[in-house]
Structure 1
Amino acid sequence: MGLLLARKKIDKEYYIIDNVQEETYNIPEDICNNSISFDPNTKLEANEWYYLNNFSAENYFLRIMNRVISTAEYNRLTEVNNTDIDVIVERRNHFVFFQKITASKVIYSKKFCHFLENGCGIREETDSIEIAVIPSIIYNQIEDKLYFRKFSDLTTIFDGIIELYREATDAEVMAFFNLDFINTVDFTVDDVKTENRKRISMVRQEMGEWTDAERQTVMRYIHEYAIDISYENGRFLIHNDRELRLLMWGLELRFYRTIVGDKKYIANSVRSIE
């Protein structure tokens, strides 16, 4: 038996809907082997999922995800419009399933005509919410792993999780511009757009783990591939957001050269094969 709950938009609290005998959501086949550790630089293939390890140790872990909860702590859902609900949760066995409810999932009252051999039948459906076969998010309590496909689904449900994929602040962008291999020309912190701010946020952490030798190797690598960026006195001259994007791609090690034809390319997704 599973426990079905819903979250109201107005107060972000979870309410008990009912105990359910049938399974509300399906678990994707072989999700353990079709999942990769979350990396904003990696794009999922078909049927793949991201996962986050040791999720119960994070500040944004919800008490509703604990192995044991007291139903007495949750009020029962009564007299609520379907448009007031933004999340549905099912607890079943050692899984917790989340479905993000968007406006497209709310079905308003409709009448349907079914044509039969000897006439037709009219059936009326009241307001309802469409339940997805596969949920937006799956938490496995035994593995302590959170599985998901879209990071935007997480930000709706888990307050603070945006830190995993946030934009760099003005101070962090300025600190990045002050590094000894960058020189901006008529290009300020205010000119940096969202995509590059997120890349700066991710790359700064990665660079902190490089040795001096690795850092020099990366600088030579960027100089070789990012030929559209001017280079003077050991610094890359950044005039605009496009040149900054090229520099960020270099710091993410996205450039590569084909074995046949010796052509240079930029990878649109980066994935470890170790």
Structure 2
Amino acid sequence: MSDDLKDAPLGQTSAYITEYDPTLLYPIARSVNRASLDLDEDDLPFEGEDEWQAFELSWLTPTGKPVVAIARFRVPASSTHLIESKSWKLYLNSFNQTRFASSVEVRRVLRQDLSRVVDAEVEVTLFGVDDMALAPGRLPGICLDDLDVEVDTYQPDPELIITDNEIIEETVHSHLLKSNCPVTGQPDWGSVLIRYRGPALDHHALLAYIISFREHQEFHEHCVERMFMDILREAEPDQLLVMARYVRRGGLDISPWRAMPGETPIKTLRLMRQ
């Protein structure tokens, strides 16, 4: 386990505080993982966001009546830090028995605390539990999952990425993405979408590459950056977007995307599994 995770609440017994406590948030420097990918923090080849959705958010009105909501957070990939997921859950739980004047105040406090910890402006949106904006959708493009592939590699291997000389523009996706938490070893299930313009990616090989993350231990955000960099270096596309939609765990789901500058992201898309 890396030094930046030794004191993290993930994988440890934790008290569930129900009174507001912003000190529960645990930041992790993005630079640690990016160094292993030979990325320069001052000259990143991508832009992007980590989109979080929280389904277990509640607080009290000034009269003590509970309010429930669903929150969406967008953390820019340019932030110096990400937030460890269990600490985020513990922080949100600390709202449970705290009285706030209004949902406007809750949103202000959330934005203020999260932005301070990641050292960048975090976008916060609150939804009612029946808001149609949360209705699930489907990933666009070609689904690779029915391809007949033989797989014997379960750690990321960029050499699995194969291209030919034809220049194309396409969108493909797979629901077979699985990686593991680097602290607890628990499985993280997800779907991934890849949109690019450049030398055609061999679909069978690309699916085998996606599956190769199956025993890999890394945070969601790191997996997406690794996938983006592997495709960028091996295929040398002119345009590239990699977006993952991970299944909810502990009341939170995480959907990071990374894209070459100028690429239009696919936002506010939730899948049935989330």
TM-score over 0.5 for the pair: no
- Bigger Cα Rg: 1
